[in-house]
């Protein structure tokens, strides 16, 4: 009873209220009397001379950040003791780490600040307005960190709040200038971060980052571009993003060797340095090749390699280091000789070296073992790993977790973590050109990892840094404070806040739309995979290729108009981070779609084949122009950053240069004998007359609104002709039912869209003839196409989805009924996946379920076709079996029948990909098919998701009309 008033007194009275962080500072007059800065005065920042160099350095950055925002730099002052009085009238910020700052300790001792909530915690801080600091210091803004980085983040938090972006240098985000900054009488407490070690890996860094760095920083004596001037910018970015850990660039580079200042500076900045999964003991791969006498092979060369390990620890011992343990083969590959037993021995030798040289308890030495690729197999085969080592699980290199901590692994002292990819070199194809990440997919996987207890380390491969600003920010913001990312719509909210902070609130919602759509479009197929055959998007069915191109075009229009609405200063960062990937991406997608249409039209013998070839060549040049535009930004600041090749992949490895896809030309030899007039229909690459005439794809009253039936009339030779189309029945009409085509007037193709008047059409199935007759077309003759017209009707009162064209397609979020059961329910993840969203069992900590225990989703649909073997296709996310004892499963039942349990992703030993993986990652998701029995009529489909890792996007019932495409049929018509 007593403690409640005391708590109130402590928190409410003495120290002001604890407010949300954005409320501590105000930017308008009249809110607070405590003015921190204006256009003529910036604060003094007082630190203890004995505090961590990282704290003093960051305080200096903050003085400059005031200069960026109000036009007057702050002043950094170092003291041995807290001065009793200031020399001038400037406002004062006092900053320091508890126990390392005489200034802060004095304030704590005097009861001026309360650090009880942060004391002894990892990377935490409290920021508060303190009144009556001394008799002659009326007030100060005080930042007290629990440790070195807690203080650093507290200082950078002020930077960010006053308007300096973490990307101010790396993405040219201008400061949000202010005329005044005030402090409220309030207090903020932050930390510890959700993930203890959070950071990024600079990787696959040639040619872009390497070329750029060489131009800007020259070469070190070892001939490499990544010197300490480069790394200072990286460290600052890392800390401003509230991360603390990096794996430095490593292909050909050796962080500690190329510039001897690198290691020391990282420590001074407060950045923890590690090495990648195949570079144990703080030594780079280049050193493995250059410094080890004999083979990089433990069995062969133990002594030499042990000495090599020892050298790594000796060199890094005075700096904060995360030691990567274990070993792989040479050059990021599996070793042919390593066994689980030898790995146990290696780790034991490594740990003895660490204990001896660092003279510390192993539990106090950050160490990780990366279970990358084949390494996971040693673990799965029962290898024992010491408790003090963090198990670093990985994704499949394409953003799908291979493993999360199991229930019996969560209380290991060293804990677990995740190594995740936003960039990759390897199969099925590299992706290292521009951003290809769906943010909400990252959220879905990392939220799962977090809830499953992978909280010790999160590290993302961010390639060349630059093109991956947004995925990097998103990943590190989650790692810093997962409480802001607890809900399925948190990614949408995050984009809004991010865009408001980097650009302006006015365009935040549009940026949500742009980035969400971009994520959806890019998840369908990465750029590097567009050269693969068969082509990603169907030209034959559902007008898929054209529809995808239209979505990209709309997206570009939105991004471009948003860009146009911005002032000049924010256009540059908006271009770098948002418009460029959309523009460059759309150009490449259009290039490939038009190249595919070129081949298709050549087969149809259209004269417009050649226009498409020209279009593709122009798009190829346009791609180069976009690269040049990027390179000329900011007077060439980012020159060479976009030199990564990306067009013309023919295997997993990048092409030596961009190459234009194969194009065909319609010349004399391709002109058919059957005359100038050509007609084509959906579903066929033939042209008529000449080729055998197919029946048109059927029409019915329930066709999805986006689906059309049409005839394309076109020229097959130079010249002109007229045509008319006559329908055998008055209830079928056609647009452009007569016209003239002329190659000299550049009218080579006309699309005639078929319409059915369903009120007038007779019930049941009929065939209607559409006769296309040429005139003034020597050698051409009329041709009649038969259109099946199926007038059907669902029973009145039916509510649900209706079959059309032999399929029923339903977006998973469009269920009729949603059950909540045993505290479990389903959530919709907006913008997840390839079409609309994803549906997931919630919370993700749920145990394995059965159809008896799990809540149920119910869908209703109506079919007209009776088929002995119909199919249910379930379109899922690309998630994998991340818990070997709990494979992904869902169950379904038709019309209340016995539930059928489906395992969509085959089981596989750790370290190898399940069969079907390549297709699934290329397509951005798994599709699982089950045979079902279905009479015609109205049906219910019940769905149970039995493991929280399953994300369902769409359901398709195939009663014989399903066409193989990338995205499947458009969503069916819903009645009722
Ligand atoms: C702040 O100091 C830096 C470093 O000395 C200087 O380059 C910059 O121009 C100063 N800014 C202002 C607004 O005076
Ligand atoms: C005031 O100025 C004196 C003399 O330059 C200096 O020694 C002292 O540290 C200054 N005190 C403060 C609070 O700036
Ligand atoms: C190391 O620390 C652990 C956990 O605090 C403790 O149990 C163990 O006794 C320590 N070992 C040594 C050698 O000090």
- Mean pLDDT, range 228-234, rounded to an integer: 98
What is the rounded distance in angstroms from the CA atom of residue 736 to the CA atom of residue 725?
Answer: 8
- Decide whether any atom of ligand 1 lies within 6 Å of the 64 Cβ: yes
Tokens of 754: 């078929």
pLDDT value at position 409? 84
Give me the pLDDT at residue 379, please: 87
- Residue 923's Cβ-side half-sphere holds a number of Cα atoms within 13 Å equal to 22
Tell whether the model's pLDDT for residue 14 goes beyond 60: no
- Does 413 sit in the ligand 3 pocket, CB within 6 Å? no
Number of the ligand 1 atom closest to the C-alpha atom of 71 = 13
- Is 669 within 8 Å of 717 (Cβ atoms)? no
pLDDT at 867 over 90: no
* pLDDT score for 9: 36
The more confidently predicted of residues 866 and 14 is 866
Give me the sheet containing 720-727, strands edge to edge.
Answer: 738-742, 720-727, 764-775, 783-791
Does ligand 3 have an atom closer than 6 angstroms to the CB of 635? no
Distance, CA 92 to ligand 2 centroid (Å)?
A: 14
Beta bridge partners of 181: 37
415 CB near ligand 2 (under 6 Å): no
DSSP 119-146: TT-TT-EEEEEEEEEETTEEEEEEEEES
State the distance from the centre of ligand 3 to the C-alpha of 362, rounded, in angstroms. Answer: 8
User: Does the pLDDT value for residue 189 go beyond 50?
Assistant: yes
Q: Taking the CB of residue 69, how many other CB atoms lie within 10 A of it?
A: 23
Q: Ligand 3 pocket, 363 CB below 6 A?
A: yes
Q: Say how far residue 639 (Cα) sits from the centre of its chain.
A: 25
pLDDT in tens, 712-768: 999 999 999 999 999 999 999 999 999 999 999 999 999 999 999 999 999 999 999
Q: How far, in Å, is the centroid of ligand 2 from the Cα of 65?
A: 23
List, for residues 667-677, the tens digit of each pLDDT value.
Answer: 999 999 999 99
The secondary structure of residue 466, as a DSSP letter, is G
If one counts every other C-beta atom within 10 angstroms of the C-beta of residue 647, the result is 23
pLDDT tens for 352-410 read 999 999 999 999 999 999 988 888 888 888 888 999 999 999 999 999 999 999 887 88
Is pLDDT of 22 > 60?
Answer: no
Residue linked to tokens 């494979």: 887
Q: What pLDDT digit, counting tens, does each position of 846-865 carry? A: 999 999 999 999 999 999 99
CB 118 within 8 A of CB 25: no
Q: How far is the CA of 365 from the centre of ligand 3 (A)?
A: 12
Q: Is the CB of 86 under 6 A from ligand 2?
A: yes
For 441-487, the pLDDT digits (tens) are: 999 999 999 999 999 999 999 999 999 999 999 999 999 999 999 99
CA of 414 to the centre of ligand 3 (A): 13
Q: Examine residue 428 and say whether the peptide bond preceding it is cis (omega within 30 degrees of 0).
A: yes
d(CA 237, CA 159): 13
Distance of CA 360 from the midpoint of ligand 3 (Å): 10
pLDDT of residue 249: 97
* In the chain, % of residues over pLDDT 70: 98
- Two structure tokens written together for 724: 């008319």
DSSP annotation of 481? -
Give the containing element (helix H, strand E) for 535. none
For residue 615, the model assigns a pLDDT of 98
Whether ligand 1 lies within 6 angstroms of the CB of 726 is answered as: no
Tokens of 164: 């300096």
Distance 60 CA to ligand 1 centre (A): 11
The CA-based dihedral angle spanning residues 613, 617, 618, 622, taken in that order and rounded to the nearest 10 degrees: 140
Question: Side-chain half-sphere of 813: how many Cα atoms within 13 Å?
Answer: 13
| Nearest ligand 3 atom, CA 361 | 1
* Strand ranges inside 716-856, DSSP E: 720-727, 732-734, 738-742, 749-756, 764-775, 783-791, 800-802, 807-811, 817-818, 825-830, 837-842
Ligand 3 atom nearest the C-alpha of 413 is 4
Q: Does residue 547 have its Cβ closer than 6 Å to ligand 1? A: no
Strands 197-201 and 245-247: parallel
Q: Give the chain's mean pLDDT.
A: 95
In a mutational test of the pocket of ligand 1, which residue from 38, 42, 59, 67 has the highest number of ligand atoms less than 8 Å from its CB? 67
The pLDDT of 916-922, averaged and rounded, is: 97
- Predicted confidence band at 13 (pLDDT cuts at 50, 70, 90)? very low
Ligand whose nearest atom lies closest to the CA of 37: 1
Beta carbons of 343 and 327 less than 8 angstroms apart: yes
User: Is a pLDDT exceeding 70 seen at residue 21?
Assistant: no
Please indicate whether residue 87, judged by its CB atom, sits closer than 6 Å to ligand 2: yes
Quote the DSSP letter at residue 187: E
Show the tokens assigned to 878.
Answer: 């690309």
Q: How confident is the model at residue 568 (pLDDT cuts 50, 70, 90)?
A: very high
Query: Is there an atom of ligand 1 within 6 Å of 75 CB?
Result: no
Please report the beta strands in 330-398, taking only residues with DSSP state E, as ranges in sequence order.
Answer: 367-370, 390-394
Q: Whose CA is nearest to atom 5 of ligand 2?
A: 87
CB 520 within 8 A of CB 831: yes
178 C-alpha to ligand 2 centroid (Å): 29
| DSSP track, 45-99 | EEEETTS-HHHHHHHHHHHHHHHHHHSS--EEEEESS--SS-SSS--EEEEEETT
How far is ligand 1, taken at its centre, from the CA of residue 175, in Å? 14
Whole-number Å distance between alpha carbons of 899 and 943: 9
Give the distance from CA 576 to its chain's centroid. Answer: 16
Cα–ligand 1 centroid distance for 572 (angstroms): 22
Q: Are 871 and 958 in contact (CB under 8 A)?
A: yes
Peptide bond into 607 cis (omega under 30): no
From 407, 415, 479, select the one nearest 443 (Cα to Cα). Answer: 479
The pLDDT score that the predictor gives to residue 129 is: 97
Rounded to the nearest whole angstrom, what is the distance from the C-alpha of residue 325 to the centroid of ligand 2?
50
With cut-offs at 50, 70 and 90, classify the pLDDT of residue 133.
very high
| Cβ 361 under 6 angstroms from ligand 3 | yes
Residue 4 pLDDT class (50, 70, 90 cuts): very low
- Asked if residue 17 has pLDDT above 50, the reply is no
Q: How far apart are CA 725 and CA 739, in angstroms?
A: 9
Distance CA 407, CA 419 (A): 20
- CB distance 134 to ligand 2 below 6 Å: no
d(CA 589, CA 591): 5
- Residue 876's pLDDT is what? 98
pTM above 0.85, yes or no: yes
CA atoms within 13 A on the CB side of 372: 26
Using alpha carbons, select from 500, 653, 585 the residue that is nearest to residue 161.
500
Report pLDDT for 124: 98
Angle, CA 520 vertex, CA 444 and CA 931 arms, to 5°: 80
Task: Select from 43, 83, 88 the residue to mutate for testing ligand 2; criterion: most ligand atoms less than 8 Å from CB.
Answer: 83
**What sign does the dihedral 208-211-217-221 (CA atoms) show?**
positive
Q: State the ligand closest to the CA atom of 175.
A: 1
| Phi, psi angles (nearest 5°) of residue 152 | -60, -45
Q: How far apart are CA 538 and CA 968, in angstroms?
A: 10
865 C-alpha to center of ligand 1: Å?
75
Q: How confident is the model at residue 437 (pLDDT cuts 50, 70, 90)?
A: very high
Tell me how crowded residue 550 is: count the other CB atoms within 10 A of its CB. Answer: 11
Q: Whose CA is nearest to atom 4 of ligand 1?
A: 64
Tokens standing for residue 327? 């070993």
Ligand 1 atom at minimal distance to the Cα of residue 68: 13
Ligand nearest to the CA of 73: 1
Distance 180 CA to ligand 2 centre (A): 26
pLDDT the model gives residue 383: 87
Query: For position 403, what pLDDT does the model report?
Result: 93
Q: What number does the ligand 2 atom closest to the CA of 88 have?
A: 14
Identify which of 76, 87, 140 to mutate to test ligand 2's pocket (most ligand atoms within 8 A of the CB): 87
Query: What's the CA-to-centroid distance between 384 and ligand 3, angstroms?
Result: 19
Is 359 touching ligand 3 by the criterion CB < 6 Å?
Answer: no
SS3 of the chain: helix, strand, coil, percent, to 5: 30, 25, 45
Q: How far is the CA of 81 from the centre of ligand 2 (A)?
A: 12
Q: Which atom of ligand 2 is nearest to the CA of 77?
A: 14
What the chain holds in terms of domains, given with CATH numbers, is 25-190 (3.30.379.10), 282-371 (no CATH), 668-791 (2.60.40.10), 800-975 (2.60.120.1620)
**How far is ligand 2, taken at its centre, from the CA of residue 98, in Å?**
23
Length of the chain counted residue by residue: 976
Contact 155, 59 (CB under 8 A): yes
* Confidence (pLDDT) at 7: 37
Residue 970 · residue 926 · CB < 8 Å: no
- Give the C-alpha separation, 12 to 483, whole Å: 24
* Residue 221: count of CB within 10 angstroms of its CB: 9
Query: Which ligand 3 atom sits closest to the C-alpha of 362?
Result: 1
CB 397 within 8 A of CB 421: yes
Q: What is the pLDDT of residues 894-917, one digit of tens each?
A: 999 999 999 999 999 877 889 999
Closest C-alpha residue for ligand 1 atom 6: 64
What are the backbone dihedrals phi and psi of residue 762, each rounded to the nearest 5 degrees, phi first? Answer: -75, 150
SS3 811: strand
What gap in Å lies between CA 173 and CA 167, rounded to an integer? Answer: 6
């Amino acid at each position: 009873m007593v403690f409640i008033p005391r708590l109130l007194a402590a928190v409410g009275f003495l120290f002001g209220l604890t407010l949300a962080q954005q409320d501590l500072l105000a930017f308008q007059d009249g809110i607070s009397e405590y003015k921190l800065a204006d256009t003529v005065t910036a604060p003094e920042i007082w630190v203890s001379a004995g505090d961590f160099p990282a704290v003093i350095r960051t305080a200096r950055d903050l003085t400059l950040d005031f200069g960026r925002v109000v036009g007057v730099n702050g002043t950094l002052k170092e003291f041995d003791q807290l001065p009793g009085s200031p020399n001038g009238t400037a406002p004062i910020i006092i900053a320091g780490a508890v126990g390392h700052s005489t200034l802060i300790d004095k304030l704590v001792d005097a009861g001026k600040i309360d650090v009880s909530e942060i004391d002894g915690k990892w990377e935490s801080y409290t920021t508060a307005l303190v009144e009556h600091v001394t008799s002659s210091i009326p007030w100060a803004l005080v930042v007290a960190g629990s440790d070195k980085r807690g203080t650093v983040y507290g200082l950078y938090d002020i930077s960010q709040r006053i308007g300096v972006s973490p990307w101010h240098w790396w993405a040219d985000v201008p400061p949000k200038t202010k005329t005044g900054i005030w402090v409220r009488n309030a207090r903020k407490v932050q930390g510890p971060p959700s993930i203890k070690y959070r950071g990024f890996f600079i990787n696959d860094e040639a040619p872009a980052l390497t070329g750029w760095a060489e131009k800007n920083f020259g070469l070190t004596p070892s001939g490499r571009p990544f010197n300490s001037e480069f790394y200072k910018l990286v460290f600052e970015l890392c800390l401003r993003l509230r991360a603390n850990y990096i794996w430095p660039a490593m292909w050909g580079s050796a962080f500690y060797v190329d510039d001897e200042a690198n290691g020391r500076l990282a420590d001074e900045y407060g950045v923890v340095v590690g090495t990648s999964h195949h570079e144990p003991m703080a030594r780079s791969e280049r050193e493995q090749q250059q410094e080890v006498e004999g083979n990089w092979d433990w069995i062969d060369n133990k002594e030499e390699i042990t000495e090599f390990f020892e050298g790594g620890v000796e060199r890094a011992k005075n700096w904060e280091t995360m030691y990567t343990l274990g070993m792989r083969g040479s050059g990021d590959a599996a070793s042919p000789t390593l066994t689980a037993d030898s790995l146990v021995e290696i780790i034991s030798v490594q740990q003895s070296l660490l204990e001896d040289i660092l003279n510390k308890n192993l539990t106090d030495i950050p160490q990780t073992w990366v279970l990358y690729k084949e390494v996971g197999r040693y673990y799965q085969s029962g290898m024992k790993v010491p408790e003090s080592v963090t198990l670093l699980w990985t994704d499949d290199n394409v953003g799908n977790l291979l493993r999360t901590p199991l229930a019996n692994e969560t209380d290991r002292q060293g804990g677990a973590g995740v190594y995740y990819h936003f960039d990759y070199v390897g199969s099925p194809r590299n992706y290292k050109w521009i951003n290809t990440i769906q943010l909400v997919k990252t959220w879905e996987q990392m939220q799962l990892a977090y809830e499953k207890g992978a909280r010790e380390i999160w590290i993302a491969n961010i390639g060349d840094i630059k093109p991956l600003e947004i995925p990097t920010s998103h990943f590190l913001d989650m790692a810093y404070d997962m409480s802001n990312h607890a809900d399925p719509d948190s990614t949408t909210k995050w984009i809004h806040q991010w865009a408001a902070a980097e650009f302006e609130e006015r365009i935040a919602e549009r940026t949500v739309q742009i980035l969400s759509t971009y994520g959806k479009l890019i998840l369908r197929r990465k750029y590097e995979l567009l050269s693969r055959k068969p082509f990603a998007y169907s030209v034959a069915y559902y007008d898929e290729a054209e529809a995808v191109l239209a979505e990209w075009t709309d997206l570009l229009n939105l991004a471009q108009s948003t860009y146009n609405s911005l002032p000049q200063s924010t256009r540059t960062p908006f271009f770098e981070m948002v418009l460029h990937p959309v523009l460059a991406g759309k150009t490449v997608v259009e290039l490939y779609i038009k190249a595919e249409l070129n081949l298709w039209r050549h087969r149809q013998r259209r004269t417009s084949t050649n226009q498409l070839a020209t279009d593709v060549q122009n798009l190829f040049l346009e791609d180069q122009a976009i690269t040049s535009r990027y390179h000329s930004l900011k007077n060439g600041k980012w020159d060479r950053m976009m030199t990564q090749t990306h067009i013309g992949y023919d295997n997993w490895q990048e092409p030596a240069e961009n190459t234009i896809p194969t194009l065909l030309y319609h010349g004399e030899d391709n002109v058919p004998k059957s005359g100038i007039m050509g007609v084509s229909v959906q579903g066929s690459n033939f042209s008529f007359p000449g080729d055998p005439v197919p029946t048109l794809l059927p029409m019915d009253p329930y066709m999805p609104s986006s689906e059309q039936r049409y005839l394309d009339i076109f020229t097959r030779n130079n010249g002109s002709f007229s045509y008319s189309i006559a329908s055998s029945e008055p209830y079928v009409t056609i647009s452009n039912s007569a016209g003239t085509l002329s190659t000299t007037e550049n009218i080579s193709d006309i699309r005639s869209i078929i319409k059915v008047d369903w009120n007038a059409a007779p019930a049941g199935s009929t065939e209607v003839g559409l006769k296309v007759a040429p005139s003034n077309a020597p050698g051409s003759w009329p041709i009649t196409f038969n259109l099946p017209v199926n007038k059907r009707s669902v029973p009145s009162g039916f509510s649900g989805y209706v079959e059309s064209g032999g399929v029923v397609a339903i977006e998973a979020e469009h269920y009729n009924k949603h059950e909540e059961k045993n505290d479990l329910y389903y959530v919709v993840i907006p913008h997840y996946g390839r079409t609309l969203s994803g549906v997931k069992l919630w919370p993700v900590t749920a145990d394995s379920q059965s159809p008896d225990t799990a809540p149920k989703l119910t869908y209703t649909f109506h079919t007209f076709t009776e088929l002995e073997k119909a199919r249910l296709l379930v379109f899922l996310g690309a998630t994998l079996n991340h818990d070997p004892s709990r494979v992904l499963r869902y169950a379904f039942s038709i019309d209340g029948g016995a539930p059928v349990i489906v395992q969509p992703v085959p089981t596989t030993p750790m370290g190898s990909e399940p069969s079907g993986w390549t297709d699934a990652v290329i397509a951005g998701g798994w599709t699982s098919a089950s045979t079902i029995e279905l009479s015609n009529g109205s049906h219910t489909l019940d769905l149970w998701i039995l493991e929280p890792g399953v994300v369902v996007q769409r359901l398709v019932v195939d009663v014989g009309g399903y066409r193989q495409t990338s995205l499947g049929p458009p969503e069916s018509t819903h009645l009722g």
